[in-house]
Amino acid sequence: MVTEKSTDTPFISNIGPILFITGIFLLNFLSRIILAPLMPSIENDLGISHGEAGILFMWISIGYSSALLGSSKLSSMVTHRTTIISSSIVTGIALVGIAMSRSLTHLHLGLLFLGLAAGIYLPSGIATITVLTDRKHWGKAIAIHELAPSLAFIAAPFISEACLNYCSWRGVLFIIGTVSILAGLSYTFFGRGGSFRGGIPNYKNISILLSRHTFWIMTVLFSLGIAAGIGIYSMLPLYLVAERGLERSLANTLIAFSRIPVLFVALIAGWVTDRIGPYITMKIVLVFNGIMTVLLGTMPGNWVFVIVFLQPMLSVCFFPAAFTVLSQIGPPHLRNLTISITVFVAYLVGAGFIPALMGTLGETQSFALAIILTGCLIFISVFLTRALKSIER
């Protein structure tokens, strides 16, 4: 069984392994979003419609969500280290296979396989980081790890444009796939941490989690945290173009640049989490993120540009504190199971159900109203944190 560190080990001594794991997470996340900037080239090459292009992302999501549930079973049979290595290598193989596909059916299967390979990583990655570092440094460690999605959002368009000058979209996937395979092999020989098994996802262990009210509260909070990040991000271009009158290129440029400050804010959020505690940090973030989300739907004129930058800064601050709290609500050996079930439900709600409702409301009423209501839910959710007192250290 895994034991947590409780020494005075300096945080800097573990920065190398944390950055190594973060690099693997970056490739994992990049592999799932790289199709977006490549999609115009893919559509032209394969002769598919916008609707068929959207189905490609659906196959990745199906695989990813399914793998999140199965990841606990895998890490209980092998180790978190093996799971991380396997995810990186198999994700790379999937990308290479997609690059070599010659039919739409093969492409769909490749994308499903890609989602399955990428989906087993996150619970093992978080579990490994929380054992590598002392509990008092969890906020900073998880904040560094959470830089990967923001870096991927920024890097994907630039990597695509740079590579498309010399090769096709298939070549871009082949390059990223090769790098992912090499990263997994490198972790085999040089990576540290994760040499322990995860909790077995049997009836007893699942019952332990489901019987805790703190688990359900964190699932709700994670759903709204993901909605504030991915959900708002998904609807923001349509909102800025359809209701704010921006040109599409200006809207996309504005959104892309708004993600750059997020990198620095995420690190600050990790430091604040360790300084004042994850519970107080989470409360502050939920309150101000809810306010900023409401303002995103209400601020007049050019003031909305300011909120477009401020809102994602606050949404990213949620995750270092939230993952720290989530890592404390169950026994250490069930941490991977806690994360996999929570993120599975929260991803479906926050990145699927809520954006779908926002889109429907945007079509029948207005996107502004949908964003305002989402902000109100985020703001109100701060009252749920009062019930987390039972696990506060």
**Total tally of structural domains belonging to the chain:** 2
Q: Give the model confidence (pLDDT) of 327-369 as tens digits.
A: 777 666 666 678 778 888 887 788 767 877 877 787 788 888 9
Instruction: Residue 373: give the domain boundaries.
Output: 203-391
Q: Compute the average pLDDT of residues 267-293.
A: 86
234 or 220, greater pLDDT: 220
- Give residue 380's pLDDT: 93
Final residue in a domain of this structure, among 190, 213, 230: 190
Burial zone of 178 (CB within 10 Å; 0-12 exposed, 13-18 middle, 19+ buried): middle
Q: Assign 318 a pLDDT band (cuts: 50, 70, 90).
A: confident
The dihedral over CA atoms of 329, 330, 336, 341, expressed in degrees to the nearest 10, equals -70
Same domain, 211 and 186: no
Q: Assign 210 a pLDDT band (cuts: 50, 70, 90).
A: confident
Distances (CA, A) of 386 to 202, 220, 269: 30, 14, 21
pTM of the model: 0.69
Quick check: is 303 in a domain? yes
Residue 341 sits in a domain whose CATH number is: 1.20.1250.20
157 or 51, greater pLDDT: 157
Q: Compute the average pLDDT of residues 160-166.
A: 84
The answer to whether 18 touches 129, Cβ cutoff 8 Å, is: yes
Percent of the chain having pLDDT more than 70?
88
d(CA 70, CA 79) in angstroms, rounded, equals 14
Same domain, 239 and 132: no
Nearest alpha-carbon partner for 80 in 31, 30, 130, 141: 130
106 or 251, greater pLDDT: 106
**Lowest mean pLDDT, pick from 16-20, 28-32, 205-209, 306-310:** 205-209
- Give residue 391's pLDDT: 52
